Structure 1
Amino acid sequence: MSLKKSIRFLLIKSVGQYINLLSFVHPKKALHLSYTLFTNPRIGKISEDKLPEILRNTIKETFHHNEDHFQTYTWKGNDTRILLVHGWESNSARWEKTLPHLQKSGSTIIAIDAPAHGQSSGKEFNVPRYAEFINKAVEKYSPSIIIGHSIGGAACVYHQYLHPKTSIEKMVILGAPSDLKTLIDNYINMLSLNKKMFTLLEKRYLENFNFKLKDFSGGAFAKHIQIEGIIAHDTTDTVVAYEEGQKIASGWKKGKFITTQNLGHSMHDDDLYQEISRFLFEE
C-alpha cells in the first residue's frame, strides 16, 4: 500500500472511530455527521465561468423545483430526444465520450446536472430528489430515450418505477447500483461504524423518505418496468459491484443484460456504444 493510500485509510478509520465514540455521547451529532459524509459529494460542482468546453456551446436552462434549482444542457438535433443522467461526484460533462455516438442519429440530446452537482443547487444528494429532477426534465422535454450512469442509472430506474407512463420508450443503465442497503453497508464497513450507527441511519431514511433500506432496491423496482432497456455492467467495476447490475437485470422483463470486461466503472467503449446505438435507433 502506498503512503498516500495508507494516510487515506488511517484518516477514514479515524473518522469512523470518532463517529462511533460520538454515537454514545451525542447520537444526533453522530448521525448528522455520518449522514452528511454519505450524502454530500466532495467534487462534481462547476461554476458558470469555468464550464467544461463540451458544455459551452449548448442551450442552457435552469429549472426551479421546490427550494432547489437544477441545470440542463441541450445539443439541438431532430425530434428524437435523449435525456442523459450522470452519477455520483460527476456532472453533465461526463458524457463527452458518449455524445458523438448518440449524435450520429441526429437526435436532440439533453443532459441534466444532479442535485449538489454541476450547476444544480444544494449540498445533499439522494436518489428520490434526483428522480424528482428527472421527472421535471421528462415533463419539459418529453424524451423517448433516457440513459443513466452509476447512481444516475439507479435514479432512472426509480423514476421509471414511480412514473411508468411518460414519453420514455427505451432506457439504458450503465454501471448502476441496485440496493441502497448495499451502499450503506459498504459505507459502514469502510468507516468501521458500529451497529448503532446503522440503526440510526436506517431510521433517518425511514423518517426522511418513508422507506426501509432493504426495500429501496433497483431489482425490485425493475419488476414494474414495462419499457425495453439495456443494463450494462463491467466485471472489473470496483465502484459498483457487477452483482448489482445483475440484480436490476433479473427483475426487468424487457431488459437486456450486457456484460463488459476491463472497462471499469466509466463504461466508455466504442463497441458498447455501437451496440447501444443499434438497440436505440435500429431495432
Structure 2
Amino acid sequence: MQKILYLFLAKLLGLYLNLLSFVYPKKASQLAYAFFSEPRTGKLSKDKLPQILKETLTETFQDGEHTFQSYTWEGNAITILLVHGWESNASRWENFIPYLKKSGSTIVAIDAPAHGLSSGKEFSIPKYAEFIHIAVEKFKPQYIIGHSIGGKTCLYYHYAYPNDLVQKMVILGAPSDFKVLLQNYITMLSLNTKITKTLEAHYLNNFKERIEDFSGRKFASTFSIKGLIAHDSEDDVVSINEGKKIAKAWKTAQFIETKGLGHSMHDDQLYQNIYQFLFETE
C-alpha cells in the first residue's frame, strides 16, 4: 500500500512539473533537479548521534563553502574508508564495524553531502568524490568500501583522483550508468521531453560530463587495483545488471552475486567474504 501511494505521489508530482514547464520552464527544471538531487532523509543531529558514532573521534573538514564529517574508530596503521549511499549516513555501517574491528584496523567513515552531519541540501557524485579525496589525503586508507551511490562515487573518485594509496576497493549494490538512474527518475515521474533535455543539459554544463559518459563501467575499465563487487539478485533499487556491467569492465575485480539481501547488503557471510578479500588474500 505504501509503495502504491509513493508511486501515485510521484506521478502527481510529475504531472505538476510537466504542466509548469509550459508556463515557467526554468522553474520546472529547477524543481525537477531539486527533487532528484536533494535527499529527504539521512541527516543527523549532533545531540542525537547513533551509539555506534558516539564511539568515534569526529572531525569536520572544510571543502569550499561546504563541510563534511568524518568518524574514526582508532586502530593500527591499516586504514579502511567507508562510503555510504543515498539518504543514509555513516551509521549504516553499524553491523559491519564489528567484523572490520577484528582486523585491528583503523576505520574511518564519512557523511556524504547533504547527509549525516555534512552540510548542504544538494547531493552530487563529483562533490562526494571531493570529500573522499580530502579524506584519503588525510587518513591514507589502503582500502575503500562503498555502498550504492557511495560505491558509484568510489569508482568516480579513483578515476578522477588516481593514486597509489588505495590498494583494494569493495563496491556493494552500486549503479553503473548514471543515465539509468536519471531515466528511472524521469520514468517514475513521467516527465516530458522538455524537462528531460534540461536535466541532461544541467549535468553537462555543471559537471562537464555527458550523462552517457558518467559511467561506472567506464571508470572501472581504467583500474589496475584489486576489487570486489557484490550485488544482490533481488535488489529492487539498483538492478544486478548494473553490478555486472562494472564487473565485466573491471579486469582485476571479482564479482559476488548474493540472493535475498535486497539493496541493503547486510549479511554475515558477505561480511566474512569482504574480510577475507581485504585481509586474507594478496
TM-score under structure 2 normalisation?
0.98
Residue 184 of structure 1 aligns with which residue? Answer: 182
Cα deviation, residue 8, structure 1: 2.7
Tell me, in whole angstroms, the C-alpha distance in 1 between the residues paired with 2:63 and 2:261: 36
Determine which of 137, 144, 167 is the counterpart of 1:139.
Answer: 137
Aligned position for 1:63: 61
- Counterpart for residue 281 of structure 1: 279
1:102 corresponds to 2:100: yes
1:119 corresponds to: 117
Separation in structure 1 between the aligned mates of residue 161 and residue 167 of structure 2, nearest angstrom: 12
Question: Contact 1:178 / 1:248 at 8 angstroms: preserved in 2?
Answer: yes
Determine whether 1:249 maps to 2:209: no
2:45 maps to 47
Aligned counterpart, 2:265: 267
TM-score, normalised by the number of residues in structure 1: 0.98
Deviation at 1:38, TM superposition (A): 0.2
Task: Name the residue aligned to 2:197.
Answer: 199
Distance in 1 separating the partners of 2:280 and 2:3: 46
The correspondence for 1:26, drawn from 24, 29, 47, is: 24
Q: Distance in 2 between matches of 1:27 and 1:42?
A: 24
Q: Counterparts of 1:242 and 1:18 in 2: how far apart (Å)?
A: 32
Question: What residue identity is the alignment partner of 2:113?
Answer: P
Structure 2 alignment gaps of length 5 or more: none
Give, in angstroms, the shift of residue 25 of structure 1.
1.4
Aligned sequence identity (%): 59
Which stretch of structure 1 is more off in the superposition, 7-16 or 133-142?
7-16
Which residue identity does 1:47 align to in structure 2?
S
CA distance in 2, matches of 1:173, 1:118: 21
Q: State the AA in 1 paired with 2:158.
A: Q
1:10 to partner: Cα distance: 2.2
Q: Distance in 1 between matches of 2:91 and 2:248?
A: 31
The whole-number CA distance in structure 2 between the counterparts of 1:6 and 1:143 is 43
1:65–1:166 Cα change, 3 Å:
farther
Separation in structure 2 between the aligned mates of residue 193 and residue 80 of structure 1, nearest angstrom: 47
The answer for the alignment partner of 2:160 in structure 1 is 162
Alignment root-mean-square deviation, CA = 0.8
Letter in 1 for 2:224: Q
Task: Name 1:210's counterpart in structure 2.
Answer: 208
Aligned residue for 1:117, secondary structure, equals coil
Runs of 4 or more, structure 1, over 6 Å off, are none
1:182-231 CA-to-partner distances (Å, cap 9, x unmatched) read 00000001001111211110001111101111110001110111100100
In 2, the alpha carbon distance for the partners of 1:57 and 1:8 equals 36
CA–CA distance in structure 2, aligned partners of residues 153 and 7 of structure 1 = 29
Please give the per-residue CA displacement for 1:114-133, whole angstroms capped at 9, x wherever unaligned: 00000000000010000000
1:15-52, Cα deviation, whole Å (9 max, x unpaired) = 10011111111110011000000000000000100100
- The match for 1:220 is 218
Write the distance in 1 (CA, Å) between the matches of 2:36 and 2:87: 12
Question: Counterpart of 2:181 in 1: which secondary structure?
Answer: helix
Distance of 1:50 and 1:119 partners within structure 2: 11
Q: Deviations over 1:239-279 (max 9, x none)?
A: 11100101111110101011000000011111111111111
Displacement of 1:12 in angstroms is 1.3
Unaligned runs of 5+ in 1: none
1:73-93 deviations in Å (ceiling 9; x for gaps):
000011000000000000000
SS at match of 1:79: coil
Q: Is the 8 A contact 1:164 1:226 kept in 2?
A: no
Q: Is 2:244 the counterpart of 1:229?
A: no
Q: Give, in whole Å, the separation in 2 of the partners of 1:217 and 1:133.
A: 20
Alignment match, 2:80: 82
Instruction: Quote how far apart the aligned CAs of 1:280 are.
Output: 0.4
- Equivalent AA in structure 1 for residue 72 of structure 2: T
User: Is 2:54 aligned against 1:36?
Assistant: no
2 CA distance for matches of 1:127 and 1:9? Answer: 26
| Aligned mate of 1:153, from 151, 174, 188 | 151
